[in-house]
Amino acid sequence: MQGNDKTLLIACGALAREILAIDAAGGWDRFELQCLPAKLHNRPALIPEAVRGVIRANRDRFARILVVYGDCGTGGLLDRVLEEEGVSRIGGDHCYEFYTGSTDFAALMEAEPGTFFLTDYLTRQFDSLVWTGLGLDRHPELLPDYFGNYSRLVYLAQRDDPTLVRKAEEAAARLGLAFELRRTGYGELADFMAAASVDRVS
């Protein structure tokens, strides 16, 4: 890769606010961010080639390119694309895992496999992505079909925001799930960016 000395971060749009906050707090001034639409999570098969397109469009413009996506339901296809393109990504299957850390996420799932997760982004977008997105506003009778196998909602909070906590509590009540709050901060996402800022991510 040639071009300027900055690192391009290709990320899910659901992580944009958090990545920018981490970058500002670090004061690194070496990252540029390009996000793909968060709605791609509804069609994860499209993620790998969308990421490939951004890589190829920018390969000669940056010293390095890194991807801030988990596998995100691509069934390993994203990793195959990144291996072909010679680009690394953050570890983990999804943002829940890298916010909590792999060990803590595994423990959460072992304790209760029927867990539905919200992040700050998903809490802000609950109505559009979950309630309306799944058609529950029009067909509330579908609620048991979608959430009948869940028993709790765990809100993984990146920031200490009482308004978002209330929204997450309301979301749990609407879904008929027990509510649990976990204040994760930025977790392994912050670690990944800190390592990238000093060229420790290959």
**How is residue 183 written in tokens?**
């204040």
Which residues face 158 on adjacent strands?
A: none
**Biggest alpha carbon–alpha carbon distance for the chain:** 55
Q: Contact, 99 vs 187, CB < 8 A?
A: yes
Q: What is the pLDDT of residues 54-90, one digit of tens each?
A: 999 999 999 999 999 999 999 999 999 999 999 999 9
Domains of the chain: 7-95+187-197 (3.40.50.510), 102-183 (no CATH)
- pLDDT given at position 1: 44
CA separation for the pair 160, 168 (Å, rounded): 13
Q: Kind of pairing, strands 7-12 and 64-68? A: parallel
- pLDDT given at position 82: 98
- pLDDT given at position 3: 53
Q: Closest by alpha carbon to 193, among 4, 3, 11?
A: 11
Digitized pLDDT (tens) for each residue of the chain, 202 residues in all: 455 789 999 999 999 999 999 999 999 989 999 999 988 988 899 999 999 999 999 999 999 999 999 999 999 999 999 999 999 999 999 999 999 999 999 999 999 999 999 999 999 999 999 999 899 999 999 999 999 999 999 999 999 999 999 999 999 999 999 999 999 999 999 999 999 998 877 6
**How is residue 82 written in tokens?**
């990144």
CA separation for the pair 142, 136 (Å, rounded): 7
Total length of the chain: 202
Amino acid making up residue 133: G
- pLDDT given at position 47: 97
**How is residue 96 written in tokens?**
């829940």
The reported pTM is 0.90
Tokens 């639409």 map to which residue?
37
